[in-house]
A and B are shown apart, each in its own frame.
Chain A
Amino acid sequence: MFGMSSHRKPFSVRSKILLTIGITIAILSVVVYLISTRVLLTSYKQIEEAGVVQDLGRAHDTFDNFAQQQQIKVNDWSQWDDAYDYAQTHDEDWFERTAFPAGMANADISYVIFSDNTDHIYRLRVIDIDGSVEIASTSEKEFFVQNHELLHNPDFETGHTGLVIIDGKPSMFSSLPIVRGDGTGPIRGSLSFGRAVDVEKVKNFAEFIHLNLTAYVYDDPELPADVVDAKQHLSTEQDHYVRALTDRTIVGYVVYKDIFGNPGLILRVEEPRPIYTQGLGTIYIFLAIAGVSLWLFGIAIIWLLERLVIARFVRLTRDVEHINRDQDLTVHVEGGVMDDIGTLAGRINQMLAWLSSAQEAEAKSKKEIVSLLDTIKHGKEEAEKMVIQRTHELSNEKARLLASINSLSFGFVIASVDDTIIVRNPALTAILETEIIPKSISDISAALKNVDTIKTTFDPVTLAHDVVKEKRTMEKSGVSFGKKFLRFLCAPIFADEGSDTAVSTEVIGYVFIVEDITDSKNMERSREEFFSIASHELRTPLTAIRWNTDMLLNMKKNASTKKDEEEMLHDIHNSSIRLIDIVADFLEVSRLEQGKVRVDKKLFDVGALVEKTVHSMQEMADKRALTLTYEQPKAGESTEVYADVNNTEQVLENLLGNALKFTQKGTITIRTEHNGPFLKVSVTDTGAGISEHNQTRLFKKFQQAGEDMLARDVNQSTGLGLYISKLLVTAMGGTIGLEKSVLGKGSTFAFMLPTEAPKA
């Protein structure tokens, strides 16, 4: 509860308080600084700006006054009789006497223009006012020819006064009509004066009005940077613009329009900033005092907090930590005065007292628990012994049960309702031909799907689920699985609810049995084939007999030929022979299958029997142009066997008969040789040979080695010969089989018979 343990040491309460006060003071300082600078300095600036705007007005007025002075000067000359005469006579002497350069400079005139009523300039003089000499400038004439309306004064009252910019140079211009001295007309053209507004002139103005004044031509492409900037504001906002250039300098700009009303000059007034500089100093002093006060206040607060709260709180924490660390409940914490912290300390002391008493009670009950545990331990040991004994008994029983399950020839599985296999025997994987051990019933499904070439819809999982659902045993037989046929049986396992109730209805799993029923399935199929073939075999000769006798009877009514009758009788005879043969074969098979074969075993020379059989079948071989030979054994080698003579002869006849029937050309060779306690008799032909697939069908009932049942050759035999031979040889204690066969080369059939009587 008190132990604060964490990976990262958190800030202490003291640090948090210090941090909070520090941050508060810093924020206050910033606020004070911002307010004082923004508010005060802005108002200082506004006062300064008002002063500058006033001064700009004075500068502008100075230029207006200058224009008025120019007009007064022109007025003196234009109402003078001499000038009136000159306007008619154009007396050059008068002009030279009156408007000579030094005179013009003295009168503060830069150029003088006389023009007639058609605004034609007939006399123009331009001087350099500083050097008092005439200069050959054409720009003035060009300008006034172009702007001749400035020289046009048709009435007594008209006149033009204002600023003109000629070729980038500003001058103050004034023009009035020339009239008589008494102010009467008619008007004889106009007199115009101009005074260059050069640097010197502006300087004069500046001195006159006590301002740092400069003037710039508005359209001058080489204006200083600050004037260009001001021009932006002037053109967009208003006719004047003020801005602080530095902390110590403020500048104002005003436009002075030319005679056409377009911006002509920019007047610039630069002034120092005494108010602003002074104000800034005051603010800094104020800020310093405020900052120091704030920090002093902060320190005082911290000191008080430390004394009254933090130190006591830290001590209380330390005491509690001490209790926690030493597990010492006897310690009392110190709280000091009875404020909130003091009360907390009191409560903690109360709690400690309570805990201390609880601890004692706990120690007491612990003792009781220990003794109880002893009793339990003793009982547990007894129980364990019993469990071990029972487990041993159970494991013996389980081992017996597992051994039984493992020895079953069919696949056996116990699975839970979720299809997980709990018990399984080796026969399962053997039947399913898989090396993967199935973990659940769905693995068995997968194994089925992997091998099965014929699409089957059977799924063991579905069967199992049906069994669990319907709570009864279910079966699926004849499931095709590769070359095999399988039978699946599934029975539910019910939960055993003890001896009271017999069996519960709750299914907790199921037993799954997988049985290989290929043999019985094949047996069944073979039986079906037997009946099919047998009926066919019997029907054919019977048909021949029926049809032939039918025809014979009909022929009796009509004229019949001897030849037909003979042939029919021959066919009827052959049919009956075939029927007898078939019946005999069937009977023989039936007798042999029932074990009713007569075996009269004795020692006899099989070599002699072979010779006899070869001899008897020689005629048949000759008919088919085949060579039939017996390869005699080495001299002195016995060919005696211990078997039944008649049965052996039948087997020999069957093998030789087959060889003769199925060989088109070549040789049939019989050999005898010893093979351990047996004598082997082999019959080798040069026939067509038997394919690997068909080899598996040999020695089975009706199975001639044809591709399928429908391709039987009924002319040859019933197909029971090899089957009968096998039954006979087996009955005599021997074996028979196909030794080898190569397609297109021939086959070797052989049987082995014991050479002596078995020792009793």
Chain B
Amino acid sequence: MKTFLAVEDDELIRHLYERSFRVAGHEIEVANDGEEALDKLSKMEVKPAVILLDIMMPKMNGFDVLQAIKADEKLKNIPVIMLTNLGSEEDRQKGLALGALDYLVKSDYNPGQVVEKVIELTEKGAPPAAA
């Protein structure tokens, strides 16, 4: 069974992730902020199949977390999907430029679609090397 990691500071959204993935029959780990996410990632024996990453978070924002992941030899091959409510094109481009596989605006999708996207990615097989 595959593991997923969602990095999200908003409790409401965190609940949504946990619930959606559970309903779809998957397990998901959550981190409250960027620092916690990096801490968890370093401790995980089996690395998650996909990381869902919010942008606006206290302590360390999503872009910085993404950069840290891409700079880490052990983590850089894990696909990262930016999942945020920051809808500007500039932020989207920035996320993709930093190596995110996709950039999704939360309010544009329903939970089923998000889960589907993530599962689809993992089933595609080997993720692209740090693009």
Contact = CB atoms under 8 A, between A and B. Distances in A.
Max count, chain B CB within 10 A of own CB: residue among A540, A575, A715: A540
Max count, chain B CB within 10 A of own CB: residue among A555, A568, A709, A715: A715
Given A532-B88, A714-B9, A551 B58 contact: no
A435 B55 CA distance: 45
Contacts of B62: 710
B59 interface: yes
Nearest to A578: B12
A567 B19 CA distance: 10
A708 B61 contact: yes
Contact of A711 (B13, B20, B57): B57
Interface string B80-113: 0000011110000000000000000111001110
B61 A540 contact: no
A542 B107 CA distance: 7
A322 interface: no
Given A536-B86, A710-B55, A711-B58, A547 B111 contact: yes
B72 interface: no
Contact of B20 (A542, A551, A709, A710): A551
B106 A543 contact: yes
A550 interface: yes
Interface string A683-721: 000000000000000000000001011111111000000
B12 A544 contact: yes
Contacts of A544: 12-13, 15-16
A497 interface: no
B85 A543 contact: yes
A541 B60 CA distance: 22
A574 B58 contact: no
B45 interface: no
Contacts of B57: 710-711
Contacts of B10: 540, 714-715
A162 to B, nearest CB: 120
Interface string B45-81: 0000000000111111111000000000000000000
B6 to A, nearest CB: 13
Contact of B107 (A543, A554, A564, A567): A543
A714 B56 contact: yes
Contacts of A571: 12, 15-16
Interface in A568-604: 568, 571, 574-575, 578
Given A544-B13, A544-B16, A712-B58, A532 B86 contact: yes
A546 interface: yes
Interface residues of A, number: 32
A546 B61 CA distance: 25
Nearest to B106: A543
A540 B58 CA distance: 15
A566 B23 CA distance: 15
Contacts of A315: none
Given A532-B86, A546-B107, A711-B58, A540 B13 contact: yes
Contacts of A546: 107, 110
B85 A536 contact: yes
Interface string A557-570: 00000001001100
A222 to B, nearest CB: 109
B123 interface: no
Nearest to A535: B87
Contacts of A540: 10, 12-13, 85, 106
A535 B112 CA distance: 23
Nearest to A716: B58
B86 to A, nearest CB: 6
Contacts of B59: 711
B126 to A, nearest CB: 30
A548 interface: yes
A712 B62 CA distance: 11
A377 interface: no
Contact of A575 (B12, B58, B86, B110): B12
B16 A711 contact: no
B91 to A, nearest CB: 9
Contact of B61 (A548, A564, A574, A710): A710
A710 B56 contact: yes
B39 interface: no
B11 interface: yes
A539 interface: yes
Interface string B110-122: 1110000000000
Given A543-B85, A550-B112, A551-B19, A715 B60 contact: no
Contacts of B23: 551, 554-555
Given A571-B15, A710-B62, A715-B10, A550 B110 contact: yes
A706 B112 CA distance: 34
A571 B20 CA distance: 14
A567 B112 contact: no
Contacts of B11: 715
A540 B85 CA distance: 7
B58 A713 contact: yes
B85 A567 contact: no
Contacts of B60: 711
Contacts of B12: 540-541, 543-544, 571, 574-575, 578
A572 B33 CA distance: 23
A546 B15 CA distance: 13
Contacts of A535: 85, 87
A564 B19 contact: yes
Interface in B1-42: 9-13, 15-16, 19-20, 23
Contacts of B106: 539-540, 543
Contacts of B55: 710
Nearest to A549: B110
B112 to A, nearest CB: 7
A535 to B, nearest CB: 7
B85 A551 contact: no
A179 B61 CA distance: 151
Max count, chain A CB within 10 A of own CB: residue among B12, B13, B59, B112: B12
Interface string A192-217: 00000000000000000000000000
A554 B112 contact: yes
Interface in A248-286: none
A686 to B, nearest CB: 20
Interface in A648-687: none
A339 to B, nearest CB: 111
23 contacts: A535-B87, A536-B85, A539-B106, A547-B16, A547-B110, A547-B111, A548-B16, A550-B111, A551-B19, A555-B23, A706-B58, A708-B61, A710-B55, A710-B61, A710-B63, A711-B56, A711-B58, A711-B59, A711-B60, A713-B9, A714-B9, A714-B10, A715-B9
Interface of A: 532, 535-536, 539-544, 546-548, 550-551, 554-555, 564, 567-568, 571, 574-575, 578, 706, 708-715
Given A543-B85, A711-B58, 20 more contacts: A539-B107, A543-B12, A543-B16, A543-B107, A544-B12, A544-B16, A547-B20, A548-B16, A551-B19, A551-B111, A554-B23, A567-B19, A571-B16, A710-B57, A711-B56, A711-B60, A711-B61, A713-B58, A715-B10, A715-B11
Which 5 residue pairs of A and B lie closest in terms of their CB atoms, listed nearest first? A710-B61, A539-B85, A713-B58, A544-B12, A550-B110
